[in-house]
């Protein structure tokens, strides 16, 4: 992958504002309190998806990174300031879901997403290493297209 990040900065917290997953809260709200005007917007960097024909998942912005996926089955972790690539992970099938980033019980952050063969994944959000993969449904038409929402089990 060209444009690799030269540093291996770990995600240590998720400062606000962020756009983590499909919606901003458990109600799936698509609203951010921080407002910007069109005059504040300008192109800072661009990213080309190698081998992809379509991109369906909404980008996730969390921990100073942008997490994006493509129909090629790849999920990417990009530096939000420069666009350099921290890591890429190749899933078993097309990834149309957004990524949700949250702290794991092991005091590290994980990126959660699903693919078009109904597999759910957790990868280390800092390194892209697979933590676990679970096939959640055997029906041939089953696929995961939304973003996982993590709810603390009490």
Residue 47 forms part of a structural domain: no
Residue 144 forms part of a structural domain: no
- pLDDT tens readout for residues 39-63: 988 999 999 998 899 888 788 888 8
Supply 146's token pair.
């939304």
pLDDT greater at residue 18 or residue 122: 122
pLDDT (average), residues 53-74: 90
For all residues of the chain together, what is the average pLDDT?
85
- Residue partners of 32: CB distance under 8 A and separation at least 6: 17, 19, 24
DSSP helix/strand/coil, 7: coil
Residue 31 forms part of a structural domain: no
User: Would you say residue 154 has pLDDT above 50?
Assistant: no
How large a percentage of the chain has pLDDT more than 90? 46
pLDDT (average), residues 58-86: 93
What pLDDT shows up at residue 12?
82
DSSP helix/strand/coil, 134: strand
- Range with the poorest average pLDDT among 53-57, 70-74, 145-149: 145-149
Residue 154 forms part of a structural domain: no
CA distance 138 to 151: 24
pLDDT greater at residue 9 or residue 124: 124
Q: Which residue has the tokens 């696929």?
A: 143
User: Would you say residue 68 has pLDDT above 90?
Assistant: yes
How large a percentage of the chain has pLDDT more than 70? 82
Q: Give me Rg for the CA atoms of the chain.
A: 15
User: Would you say residue 148 has pLDDT above 70?
Assistant: no
- Total domains in the fold of the chain: 1
The CATH number for 111's domain is 2.40.10.480
Residue 29 forms part of a structural domain: no
User: Would you say residue 21 has pLDDT above 80?
Assistant: no
CB atoms under 10 Å from CB of 21, counted, come to 25
- Return the closest-CA partner of residue 127 out of 152, 104, 93, 97: 104
Residue 11 forms part of a structural domain: no
User: Would you say residue 141 has pLDDT above 80?
Assistant: no
Residue 6 forms part of a structural domain: no
* Phi, psi dihedral angles at 123 (to 5 degrees): -125, 155
CA distance 23 to 102: 14
Q: Which residue has the tokens 């690539």?
A: 85
Question: What range defines the domain where residue 98 resides?
Answer: 53-135
């Amino acid at each position: 992958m060209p444009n690799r990040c030269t540093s291996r900065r770990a995600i240590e917290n998720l400062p606000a504002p962020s756009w983590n997953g499909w919606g901003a809260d458990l109600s799936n709200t698509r609203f951010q309190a921080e407002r910007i005007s069109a005059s504040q917007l300008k192109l800072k960097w661009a990213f080309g998806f190698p081998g992809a024909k379509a991109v369906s998942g909404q980008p996730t912005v969390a921990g100073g990174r942008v997490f994006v996926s493509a129909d090629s089955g790849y999920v990417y972790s990009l530096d939000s300031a420069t666009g350099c690539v921290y890591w890429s992970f190749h899933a078993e099938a097309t990834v149309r879901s957004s990524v949700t980033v949250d702290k794991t019980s092991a005091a590290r952050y994980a990126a959660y997403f699903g693919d078009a063969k109904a597999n759910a994944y957790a990868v280390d959000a800092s390194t892209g290493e697979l933590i676990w993969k679970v096939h959640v449904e055997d029906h041939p038409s089953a696929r995961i297209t939304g973003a996982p929402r993590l709810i603390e089990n009490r």
